[in-house]
Chains A and B, each alone.
Chain A
Amino acid sequence: MGKGRNLPLTAYALGVYLFLFTPIVVLVLFSFNDSPRNFVWRGFTLDWYPVLFKDAHVLGALWISIQVAAIAVVGSTVLGTLLGLGLARLRGGFGGGIADTLILLPMVTPEVVMGISLLLFFALLFDAHGSILQIAISHIAFSISYVTIVVRARAVSLDPRIVEAARDLGSSPLSAFWHVTLPLLMPAVGAGAMIAFALSFDDLIITSFQAGPGSSTLPLYIYSRIRFGVTPEINAISTIIVSVTALIILVAWRIGAVKPAKPQPTI
């Protein structure tokens, strides 16, 4: 009992996977639809892909998204890794408890509130309205927590004696960090960076309050197009994004960079 099969539950699980993948399949299918309207199937075509690569708006928005994500990944990975390591070493205590709560708060703050708070912050204190840097800074603010949690989980499991051994053998704290701790943390740092990239590349709500003319990210551009009716061009770029991410995730999983056995409650 218990260990055996449970047919109704297995059937249910298949149903959930169907639910999860149906929108993705529909999206990909309609990128090959021979009709500028996105809702009725007319026939197969590959025409939307060349159109996409000539569309200056899409490519411009993609380029802005990539720049924002690059800054956000570097910033949140560096800050989150230091935080995760520091919290793991402190192991609670008064300061650690407060820091833990502060890490948790951005994860449980409604995005719309974070969006307007950063808009007011930049507009009132710096008279800034929508540079790439402003968007990236706001992305770092909500990504730090995720990196911290992933890195912290691994740092807690590190044997402190390994670092002590390096110190006994005469390495400075900095070189022990660089040559011992960081390489051991690397899988978690990599996973954290991937999460930060996904969060930044995907964010719409917070970004919509930061972006100004000329700094529309890809999700923001797609959102603005949806209101006026979308051509399969948007499906085409979605298909490319889906394929690339799926490939990266599966490869990362295969080579063992991503270990989902003990996942954190993050994207």
Chain B
Amino acid sequence: MMRARFRDGALLFPGISWLFVFFAAPLAIIFVVSLGQRDAYGGAILDKGLSFNNYLRALEPSFLPTVLNSLKYAVATTVLSIGISYPIAYWISRHGGSRKGLLLILVMLPFWTSWVIRTYAWMIILRDNGVLNGVLQATGIIHDPLILLNTDFAVVLGMTYGFLPFSILPLYVSIDRVDESVVAAARDLYAGPAQAFRHVTLPLTMPGVIAASLLTFIPAIGDFVTPDILGGAQTTTIAKVIQSLFLSARDWPFGAALGFLLILATIIGTVSTLRILRAEVIG
């Protein structure tokens, strides 16, 4: 018995080691680099004393608008995603019948295609002389083209579209698990449909809502591609600043400090919902 358990533990060894070397260790390196100084080429100097100066720079008021902008996009995307996903997940689960499988496949299908290409498709649609303005003008709904691209609206739309499966799937699993007889019991006890939903279905699917929110919020806050393609060059987010600090402006220690703050916020969010996440995501 003991030996079998040991052997089962040994199955974990290669994968866990891999995650320690190529996931945990690199995260630790971020922290070390964030304490260093920038060298002439933008790399990190670590032997001239370590300090928290890079973190102080991140807390300067001039950086606040960037933080708020990131939060604005991520929160709006999360709220919109849950709002869109819950009814569709509910509909597939309760009204999908024998076609549930196909309906889920159809929801997933766009997401098996390239993410950057899908984001680019929104650029074609939203441009001043793009598809949407063309349709609206041709049908006489508007006269002059609306400015849609390079707006906050475009960024939130693009992120919502891009990360929708991260909210639809956990919500579907969560809703599908709710025993319909529990809802029927509430209805028998004279709860209206709305009351039964509010007091029975919604509380029972709350873990799904929380998991879906976190799984949407995190990619949204770490996304620099959508703000870049759909928000235009002037849009700044934390992720975009980090990207430029590493790939063009070259100040690795400051970029590492911003990255570490981001991971810290994520870990707090994850740990405080760990039980829910483990139940909902890992099962």
Contact = CB atoms under 8 A, between A and B. Distances in A.
Interface in B36-89: 43-44, 84, 87-88
Contacts of A245: 109, 112-113
Given A23-B121, A27-B121, A99-B16, A85 B87 contact: no
- DSSP class of B's interface residues: helix, strand, loop or mixed? helix
Interface string A175-197: 00000000000000000000000
8 contacts: A2-B94, A24-B110, A82-B11, A90-B8, A102-B19, A121-B25, A121-B26, A266-B169
A120 B113 contact: no
A132 interface: no
A242 B113 contact: yes
Interface string B8-19: 111110111011
A125 B104 CA distance: 44
A198 B274 CA distance: 27
Given A38-B124, A105-B270, A2 B242 contact: no
- DSSP class of A's interface residues: helix, strand, loop or mixed? helix
Given A116-B246, A223-B225, A265 B15 contact: no
Contacts of B115: 202, 204, 219
B110 A40 contact: no
A266 B163 CA distance: 11
A260 B247 contact: no
Nearest to B174: A265
Contact of B19 (A78, A106, A153, A209): A106
Contacts of A86: 8-12, 15
Nearest to B208: A265
Interface of B: 5, 7-12, 14-16, 18-19, 22-27, 29-30, 33, 43-44, 84, 87-88, 90-92, 94-95, 100-102, 104-118, 120-125, 127, 129-131, 134, 161, 164-166, 169-170, 172-173, 180, 183-184, 187, 193, 211-212, 214-215, 218-219, 221-225, 229, 239, 242-243, 246-247, 252, 255-256, 259-260, 262-263, 266, 269-270, 274, 277-278, 280-283
Interface string A78-117: 1110110111011000010001111111111111111011
Contacts of A100: 278, 282
Contacts of B19: 102-103, 106, 141, 144
Interface residues of A, number: 102
Interface of A: 1-2, 5-6, 9-10, 12-13, 16-17, 19-24, 26-27, 30, 38-41, 78-80, 82-83, 85-87, 89-90, 95, 99-114, 116-121, 123-125, 137-138, 140-141, 144, 148-149, 152-153, 156, 173, 198, 201-202, 204-205, 208-209, 218-219, 222-223, 226, 230, 234, 238, 241-242, 245-246, 249-250, 253, 258-267
